[in-house]
Amino acid sequence: MERLTAPDAWFLYLESATMPLHVTGLLLLDPSTAPKGFSFDQLRRHVDGRLDAMPMLRRRLVEVPAAIDHACWIEDPEFDLDRHVHRHVLSGAGTERELAAFIGGYSSVRLNRKFPLWDMVVVEGLDDGNVALVMKMHHCIVDGVTGMTMMGSLMDLTPKPKRPRRHSDWTPERVPGSREVIASATWHRLTTPMRPVRAVVDVSSSLARLAGTAAWRRISGAEAAAHPLNAPRTCVNGSITARRAVAFDRRPIEDFKAIRSAFGVTINDVVLAACTFGLRRHLEVNDRVPDRPLVCSVPVSTHGHDRADRSSNQVSDMFVHLPVQLADPVAQLRSIHTGSLGAKQLHESIGTDMIRDVIELVPATIFHLVTRLYSMTGLASRLAPVHNVIVSNVIGSPVKLYLAGAEIVGMFPFGPLIEGSGLNITVLSNNGDMNFGLIACPDLVADFEGLLDNIGEGIDALLEAAVSQSR
C-alpha cells in the first residue's frame, strides 16, 4: 500500500454529490493518418500496451474508516481494462454541439471509487470524419502538469506508434481488510507525530510573510490585490448542481503572441483579459456589471519546487482581479498585467504548501463534513463567493502528436467546478493553437455558448488594438 499525500487527498475530501472532482479532456483525432487504419479495438490495444508507463491507471483506492489518516493506493487485483475503455456512437448529425452535449453529461457522473479513478470513451459518428476520445481522471491522481505527462505516455511524435517498453512486471495486491487498514493508518499517525506541528509552524510562517508583504504594498501605495472571500456576487455564482455543460474552441497562438508583444504583457495576461471581456459581455446581457472587479482563481504549478514531493498535485492558487467594470479591452489588459504582478508577490509570500498544511491541521472528517454542509445548506448562494471564476492556462505540446496513428487535431481540457462558482475556463496550448475548454453548471450559467463567443470577441478586439499599436 502507498498512502496518498495531503494535496492529493484534499480532492477526495472536497468531492460531493454536486461537485465531482475529476478532470475531463477531449482529444479530436484524424483517423486518416493511421498507417493501418483506426478503430476502437486498435485504440484499446494501444492503451493496454502503454499501461506500464502509467502505473496510476491500475491502482485503486483503499479508504480508511473514520478518516484516521489519508487513503492508500493498491495495485487493483480486479483490474479490467474493459471497465474503463468504452465506445459511443453519436445518434444525431454528429455536430460539435452534439459532442459537447455528450461530454457535459459524461462530466456530470462521478467516478466509482471501487475501481481505478479514470475512464475513457471513444466517440464516433462526427460529421467531419474525425473521432473523439473523451477521458476523465480524478483530480487526486492528476493536475495540469501530471495530466499532460500521463497523456504524453499514450502519444507519439509520428503516425507510427513506437513499440511500448515493458518497464516492470505488474503485480496485483491483495485488498486489505478493515482491521488491517485501521491498524496501518493508526501506526502511520503514531510514527509521524510532527505532521501537525510542522503544519502549524509552516502556516504561521506563511501568514507572517503574507502580512509583511501586504503591509509593504499598502505603504508603497500599490493597488490592492485580489483575495478570496471578497468577490462580488454575479449570476455565475451560487450553489451548484451536479449538471455540467461544456463548450470548446481554439485560436492561433500567434494571435496571443502578437498581443503580448504589442503591449509588453504575458500570454497569461492576454488569456485573462479575453476572459474579462467575455465575462463583461455576459454580465451585461444576463445580470449586471459590478462596479468592482471579479476575483479569479488562477492555479499555479509548483512542480520542481520540492524534488522530494511525490504528490500528483503540485499546485497552488493565485488570485487575480478581472476588471469587468472597465469597458475598454486594452485598459482591462493593462489592469490585469499590473494586478498579476501584485498577485504573484502575495502568492510567493504564502509559499507552495498551504493546501498540505491545512489538510494536516484540520481532521479529514471535519473538513469533509464542513464542505458537505456548505453544499447541502445552500450557503454558497447566501455568502460572499470564495471566487467568481477559475481560469487555468496549461502549457501543452508545440508539435504535432499522434494517438494510435491518428493525428491529434484538437485537445481541449475541462477542469472541475468548486462550490459557489459555476464556471471554469481552462486553456491549453497545443501545436500552434490555444484551445479553450469551458465547463459550467447550466443551472447557474445561462447562454453558455454565447460566453465562449464573447471571449473570442475579446481576442479579436485585443488583436485589432495590437495591430494599431504596432503601426
Q: Which residues belong to the active site? A: 139
Residue at grid coordinates 501586504: 214
Pull the grid cell for residue 203: 502556516
Separation in Å, CA 36 to CA 122, 147, 402, 407: 18, 28, 13, 13
The rounded distance, in Å, linking the Cα atoms of 269 and 374 is: 32
Q: Which regions of 104-183 does DSSP assign to beta strands (E)?
A: 118-124, 131-138
**Nearest one of 230, 224, 241 to 386, comparing CA atoms:** 230
Contact 34, 406 (CB under 8 A): yes
Partner residues linked to 132 by β-bridges: 28, 123
Please write down the long-range contacts of 29-33, taking CB distance under 8 Å and 24 or more positions apart: 29/130, 29/131, 29/132, 29/133, 29/403, 29/406, 29/407, 29/408, 29/409, 30/129, 30/130, 30/406, 30/407, 30/409, 31/129, 31/130, 31/131, 31/406, 32/129, 33/159, 33/402, 33/405, 33/406, 33/407
Q: Convert 30-49 to b/e letters by CB count within 10 Å (16 or more is b).
A: bbebbeeebbbebbbebbeb
Task: Name the grid cell of 108.
Answer: 456530470
Cα separation, 352 vs 317, whole angstroms: 9
Count helices and strands (H / E) in the chain: 12, 17
Grid look-up 502505473 returns 55
Q: How many Cα atoms sit within 13 Å of 199 on the Cβ side?
A: 17
Question: What are the distances in angstroms from CA 366 to CA 192, 314, 359, 361?
Answer: 20, 24, 10, 11
Kindly state the helix (H) or strand (E) to which residue 15 belongs, with its residue range.
none
